[in-house]
């Protein structure tokens, strides 16, 4: 399926994502493309507006680096402000623009905003699916090794009262364990049928991986 607006959006967002690629390994443009692929796959099953799906995926994290740098408080709000003039300039259908911006605004589950359209639900599902499974395990481990901001040991073989506190975990594996307990990553809390199915598969992999890692670390396997 050909998408009319993709290249035009990428031309306007290049400077935002180029900087993100240089600074944020876990939320770089690879994350955008993975979310886009998932959202388009789910969108086709759900009969979603694929123009909206494509645009929201290419724009939802456009202000992520600005938040990381402390220039904006919430990258979802800033993302909407950036997205509107871009969509207007490329001739994106005006009656679909607010749907795109709504999806961008509510995609961050930590803000407890409720998606009101199928496209917004798809973006939440796709974004959080990318925080699960084999790719995320690799991403979390690489980030904990490569970046100063999130650097931590792979595992701490100790009994700890609070392995995850104030937004930080004592080890990479403890962070993955924390994610497995997080309500927003429970498969039953995903919106779409395919989203739930994929979440179940990714959740199961992460659980098996962490259990095996700890068992091997302790010499039990």
pLDDT, tens digit (0-9, with 9 covering 90-100), for 52-98? 999 999 999 998 888 888 898 889 999 999 999 999 999 999 999 99
Residue from 203, 189, 186, 191 nearest 45 by CA = 191
Q: What is the CATH number of domain 1-113?
A: 1.10.3210.10
Query: Which of 25-29, 68-72, 194-198 has the lowest average pLDDT?
Result: 25-29
Q: Reduced to 3 states, what is the DSSP secondary structure of residue 164?
A: strand
pLDDT of the residue at 180: 96
As a whole number, the mean pLDDT across the chain is 91
pLDDT at 65: 84
Q: What are phi and psi of 190, to 5 degrees?
A: -80, 155
Residues of the chain with CATH 1.10.3210.10: 1-113
Convert the pLDDT of each residue in 112-145 to its tens digit: 889 999 999 999 999 999 999 999 999 999 888 8
Distance CA 74, CA 67 (A): 6
- Cα(148)–Cα(124) distance, integer angstroms: 28
Give the range with max mean pLDDT: 20-29, 69-78, 103-112, 186-195.
186-195
Q: Name the token pair of 200.
A: 């179940």
In the predicted model, is pLDDT for residue 174 greater than 80?
A: yes
Whether residue 12 has pLDDT greater than 60: yes
Burial of 76 by CB count in 10 Å (0-12 exposed, 13-18 middle, 19+ buried)? buried
Confidence of residue 26 (pLDDT cuts 50, 70, 90): low
How many C-beta atoms surround the C-beta of residue 133 within 10 A? 19
């Amino acid at each position: 399926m050909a998408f009319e607006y993709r290249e035009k959006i990428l031309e306007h967002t290049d400077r935002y994502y180029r900087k993100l690629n240089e600074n944020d390994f876990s939320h770089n443009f690879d994350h955008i493309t993975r979310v886009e692929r998932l959202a388009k796959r789910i969108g086709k099953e759900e009969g979603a507006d694929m123009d909206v799906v494509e645009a929201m995926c290419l724009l939802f994290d456009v202000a992520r680096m600005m938040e990381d740098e402390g220039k904006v408080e919430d990258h979802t709000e800033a993302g909407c402000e950036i997205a509107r003039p871009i969509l207007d300039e490329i001739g994106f259908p005006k009656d679909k623009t607010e749907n795109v911006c709504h999806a961008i605004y509510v995609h961050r589950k930590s803000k407890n905003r409720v998606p009101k359209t199928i496209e917004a639900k798809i973006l939440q599902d796709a974004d959080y699916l990318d925080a699960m499974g084999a790719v995320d395990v690799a991403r979390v481990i690489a980030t904990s090794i490569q970046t100063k901001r999130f650097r931590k040991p792979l595992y701490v073989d100790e009994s700890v009262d609070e392995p995850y506190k104030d937004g930080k975990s004592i080890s990479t594996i403890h962070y993955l364990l924390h994610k497995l307990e997080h309500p927003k990553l429970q498969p039953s809390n995903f919106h779409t049928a395919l989203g739930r199915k994929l979440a179940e598969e990714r959740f199961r992999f992460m659980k098996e991986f962490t259990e095996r890692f700890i068992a091997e670390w302790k010499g039990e396997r």
